[in-house]
């Protein structure tokens, strides 16, 4: 009987063992299949990303299958209004000087700045041989080079911006003024570059101020590019503090910037946050808004680089405008151009907080001839 029981139990045990093995094998197979599927998905995503960044940006960004809005990686020099809209960055123009800088213009300056502001730049061909300070002379020469139409190239604007910042001691202490610097910009899980024309940085290379220029009125987007450079500067400053084991970089930081169109400045205060930086790194659309304040000095002439860009001037030159009137008009335009540069000078001299209060009235009076044409 015992043998029968043993003999009868054996097939049952064997059957149970086989069933258990089948179940185990099935589970292992399912696990392998799932792992294989995940590997295949990962490889496919990598292939898509390498082939078309745009397709990768549009792909789902979570395993749950919930699609998030993405944007492809774009270098700082290629940023446009599209990137600003995606990241909810709004540029707001302030009504006046005090609304932007939160204080009144300064009236007193050091000796070198005072000498620079007192230079006679109202003549068509100003002379600098009587200038006492070599630094003032250097800044004046760079400014004059920009106002000469045949030399209003990018390098001349960079030289002028750098010399003006140095004139106002932006390179004193632990700070330095650099040109043609390259910043790393992390965007959409990739790394690219942003290249401000001029920047002010500390000895530990943390960026304090950025200067860009408007290279072309058509097809160029200086403000979005300046904002991209500010984002890159913020990211580099954060990484620098972590790398050097310094105190954590602020979660919120205002980075000032200037965009130069010839000698005409526009000023910006970019309100950077860690949250915006992270959204740019991941290429994800934020749910919050980032504000950028803008201030453009009023009533400055548009034709900064060359007076002949003004159609009203071309019309009178071509249809018998008297020589004396042409000469007078050209003198006033050049004078206004130089004064526009002096406006930028006083703003930066604050530092970055001064402007000529009388510039609007002066231009209205001295350029009255333009309105009469």
* Average pLDDT score over residue span 363-369: 45
Judge whether 17 lies within some domain: no
The per-residue pLDDT for range 322-362, each reduced to its tens digit, is 434 444 445 555 555 555 555 555 555 544 444 434 444 44
* 122 shares its domain with 238: yes
Judge whether 1 lies within some domain: no
What is the pLDDT, as a whole number, of residue 308? 30
Segment among 17-26, 37-46, 170-179, 220-229 with least mean pLDDT: 17-26
Judge whether 6 lies within some domain: no
* 56 shares its domain with 100: no
Tokens of 20: 């258990």
* 129 shares its domain with 54: no
* 191 shares its domain with 235: yes
SS3 string, 264-277, reads: EEEEEEEEEEHHHH
The answer to whether the bond into 194 is cis (omega within 30° of 0) is no
* 114 shares its domain with 177: yes
* Average pLDDT score over residue span 317-321: 37
Domain count, the chain: 2
* Beta pairing partners, 284: 70
pLDDT grade, residue 267 (50/70/90)?
very high
pTM of the model: 0.65
Contacts of 284 (CB under 8 A, 6+ apart): 61, 68, 69, 70
Judge whether 182 lies within some domain: yes
* Average pLDDT score over residue span 187-192: 96
What is the pLDDT, as a whole number, of residue 194? 95
The H or E element that residue 210 is part of is strand 207-213
* 102 shares its domain with 56: no
CA 3 vs. chain centroid, Å, equals: 90
Judge whether 111 lies within some domain: yes
Judge whether 23 lies within some domain: no
Query: DSSP secondary-structure letter at 367?
Result: T
Judge whether 54 lies within some domain: yes
SS3 string, 114-158, reads: HHHHCCCCCCCCCCCCCCCCHHHHHHHHHHHHHHCHHHCCHHHHH
Contacts of 137 (CB under 8 A, 6+ apart): 128, 131
Measured CA to CA, the distance from residue 316 to residue 22 in angstroms comes to 97
Expressed as residue numbers, the domain containing 279 is 76-372
Of 38, 61, 84, which residue sits at a domain end? Answer: 61
Place of tokens 């003198």: 331
* 149 shares its domain with 86: yes
pLDDT grade, residue 64 (50/70/90)?
very low
Contact 100, 295 (CB under 8 A): yes
pLDDT of 18 > 70? The answer is no
* Average pLDDT score over residue span 228-245: 94
Contact 121, 331 (CB under 8 A): no
Please, what is the Cα angle at 346 between 340 and 347, to 5 degrees? Answer: 90
* 43 shares its domain with 86: no
């Amino acid at each position: 009987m015992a043998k029968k029981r043993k003999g009868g139990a054996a097939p049952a045990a064997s059957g149970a063992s086989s069933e258990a093995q089948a179940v185990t094998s099935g589970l292992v197979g399912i696990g392998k299949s799932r792992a294989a599927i995940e590997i295949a998905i990962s490889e496919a995503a990598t292939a898509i990303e390498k082939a078309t960044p745009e397709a990768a940006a549009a792909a789902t960004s979570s395993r749950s299958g919930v699609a998030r809005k993405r944007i492809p990686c774009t270098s700082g020099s290629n940023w446009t209004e599209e990137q600003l809209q995606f990241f909810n960055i709004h540029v707001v123009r302030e009504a006046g000087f005090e609304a932007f800088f939160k204080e009144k213009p300064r009236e007193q300056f050091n000796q070198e700045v005072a000498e620079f502001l007192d230079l006679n730049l109202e003549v068509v061909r100003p002379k600098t041989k009587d200038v006492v300070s070599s630094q003032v002379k250097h800044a004046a020469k760079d400014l004059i080079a920009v106002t000469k139409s045949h030399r209003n190239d990018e390098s001349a604007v960079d030289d002028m911006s750098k010399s003006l910042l140095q004139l106002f001691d932006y390179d004193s202490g632990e700070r330095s003024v650099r040109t043609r610097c390259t910043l790393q910009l992390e965007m959409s899980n990739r790394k690219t570059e942003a290249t401000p024309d001029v920047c002010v940085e500390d000895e530990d290379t943390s960026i304090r101020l950025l200067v860009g220029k408007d290279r072309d009125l058509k097809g160029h987007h200086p403000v979005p590019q300046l904002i991209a450079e500010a984002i890159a500067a913020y990211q580099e400053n954060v990484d620098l503090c972590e790398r050097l084991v310094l105190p954590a970089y602020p979660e919120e930081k205002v980075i000032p910037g200037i965009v130069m169109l010839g000698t005409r400045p526009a000023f910006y205060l970019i309100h950077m946050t860690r949250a915006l930086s992270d959204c740019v790194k991941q290429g994800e659309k934020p749910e919050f808004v980032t504000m950028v304040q803008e201030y453009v000095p009023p009533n400055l002439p548009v034709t900064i680089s060359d007076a002949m860009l003004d159609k009203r001037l071309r019309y009178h030159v071509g249809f018998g405008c008297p020589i004396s009137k042409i000469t007078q008009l050209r003198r006033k335009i050049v004078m206004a151009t130089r004064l526009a540069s002096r406006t930028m000078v006083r703003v930066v001299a604050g530092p970055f907080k001064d402007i000529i209060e009388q510039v609007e009235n002066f231009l209205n009076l001295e350029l009255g001839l333009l309105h009469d044409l």
